Structure 1
Amino acid sequence: MEEMLDSLRDDCCIPYLDDILCYAKTFEDHLEGLRRVLKALQQHGVKLRPNKCEFFKREVRYVGRLVSGEGVRIDPKDLNAILSLREKSPSTIGEVRRLLGFLSYYRTYIQDFSRIAKPIYDLLQIKSNNAHGVMERSNKTKGKSNQLPSKTPVVWTEEHKNTLGTLIDILTHPPVLAYPDFNSPFTLHTDASEKGLGAVLYQWQNGKLRVIAYGSRTLTPAEKNYNLHSGKLEFLALKWAICEKFRDYLFYASHFTVYTDNNPLTYVMSTAKLNAVGHRWVGELSDYNFDIKYRPGKENIDADTLSRCPLDIEQYVASCSEEMSVDAVHATWEGSQVAKKRDVAWIASLNTTQNSDITNTCPEFSHHGFLSTINHSELQRAQKEDPAIREIIKLKENNQTLTTEVRRGLHGPAKKLLHEWKKLHIDNGLLYRKTTHQKQLVLPAEFKKKVLKHLHDDMGHKMSKVQSLCPMLRRTQIRDMRLNPAKI
């Protein structure tokens, strides 16, 4: 189904297994989109059962959610199953896991889910069994997972019952989550405490701040040792929210803003006083283009009512009393601006026409004449001579299906390109990686050295500036290439 409707996906339909959601802004566009979907299914010999189809509805149930023009919400039919949990009293670890698994399915509708559910999560933790609070393990259990057996009994107290009741009360009055608009900037709020990490993704829509998704998680045993006052937990919340929880939203966003109640965090990535872990987090964050703004803690409370009663824009912006200076932003993101077009490994963001030279879309590159004289035929030749790209082009030209035998027949670099298979397309004889908002040229191996040389020499990043050089190198080098500036 994914392959049959690949050209229509995110344009007029969203396929998921055997469910297809067709959508449009107007009735006329909906008719045209529906015609294209039915034609594509007909060409592949797919038959539909009329009694399982719904046409021209303003709201439909899709993948367990009610989807409409207003957003996504929980189906009221599911509330009966949720309300029945109120009388549940799990007696074993297995029952607690099943309970949390069911509630976690709706966690995107609950702000700070992990913090609220922490007393229940604590039941799954192995307790220390000596006077010093250090967990001992027998020889039989060494090397095994730190998980309690499913049949281990638990004590369900009044605290756990109240926690479950709180989660159920929130779910019976869930917010309507808005659809993300990738042409508009996102707003992200992050926070951390000794109980866990929390984040809320927002977006301005029709003059109001709408909730896109909630995110939260508990701390690992190692993270519980972080000093809250050192700011490391706040830094962790920032990195986790951007690079993990909301990566699918933010990685392709042209720009977004992060609000935090930790003022030092607004400068943490431009300071030299970071340990190895901090530098690694900075490297991960350099893939994204965003600003960090400070808001006092009393104003950084993301109440559940915010999604139903959005704040006034002017009042909200005026409450942001401090923000990063231009110098701080430049020092922090000198690497991310080079990669503003969000290129991935061995891919450069370029625009091309059939009979003209290549012009780079990134202003930082064009100022230095970067790749400005490579013509179309030269790139075609280089791609065909590149072993990895040549194999992918051959598969694409033959409309080859990716079977296990085909995958096994490819060598290492070509297999890495298969991770982007659905986004790879041939246009005017060149292999590109196409996304919703951009087209990226798959860079032949012979030009990689030129890319690295430009980033290192032409932009003034000398060998002594390894810290600022690394984020840029990692965006253009092959992932398994060892970082050795002396050999570049």
Structure 2
Amino acid sequence: MKPCELHIDASTVGLGAVLYQVIDGAKKVIAYASKSLSKSEERYPAHKLEFLCLKWSVWKKFNDYLWGAPKFLVRTDNNPLTYVLTTSKLDATGHRWLAALAAFDFEIEYTPGVSNQDADALSRLPSVRIDIASVQAMCSVDFAPFAATMAVFAEKTEEETSPFLHVSLTELRQAQNVDEILGVWMTAMRKRECPILKRTPNPAKHGIMKKNWQKFCFYRGLLHRKVEGEKPQLVLPTKYIPTVCNTLHDDMGHQG
């Protein structure tokens, strides 16, 4: 088995981890994982959250990859965690977690936060609010996989960050503009004229868009619709719908 490398991070809202494998001298992503915190976990101090993230990612999420694997490297931006395997200052919970990790051969290395942004982004992913009812509608057999009903709220994101890992705002803007459906409505919004749709492909999808015409707005150069009053809801390009579905995997009954 080729060498593995695990990046982990914990925030006040969740845990994040990225598993890499070194192939031909380059690191390739094998799997991503993200988990929101339970009510009790939210009360953990920072050092315990980082230890929880280590136990969760190694012992539970990536167990199938790491059990019996050659010695692997764990990278964290929490320096105290690098001593957790040798410290004697652990509570009962800490000792249980340490016992669970004893079957794995790894070392922990401190990495500055700027080099650990992949896991950091995943640990903060649960703070992005996603409307579950909308996702269920999108996944319905009778519902076309159309982004207009996907609810990804971006009011907590920074100016040039995206709600999705490894997808920039620029990429989202480009995807909206070239999307077969959204491109028509992006142009219409700029002209401030609701398009007249006659014999257009995908009439059902355009029909949904037309029903939401009065709710559409531009926010940071991206097409949104206003819901719950004035809250901007991102209208997803079709190509990124699978990204949202994968993001929801843990939050919809697959958490560890």
> Normalising by structure 1, what TM-score?
0.24
More relative contact order, 1 or 2 (CA 8 Å, 6+ apart)? 2
Q: Which structure would you say has the larger Rg?
A: 1
- Which protein has the bigger strand share? 2
Per the normalisation by structure 2, the TM-score is 0.46
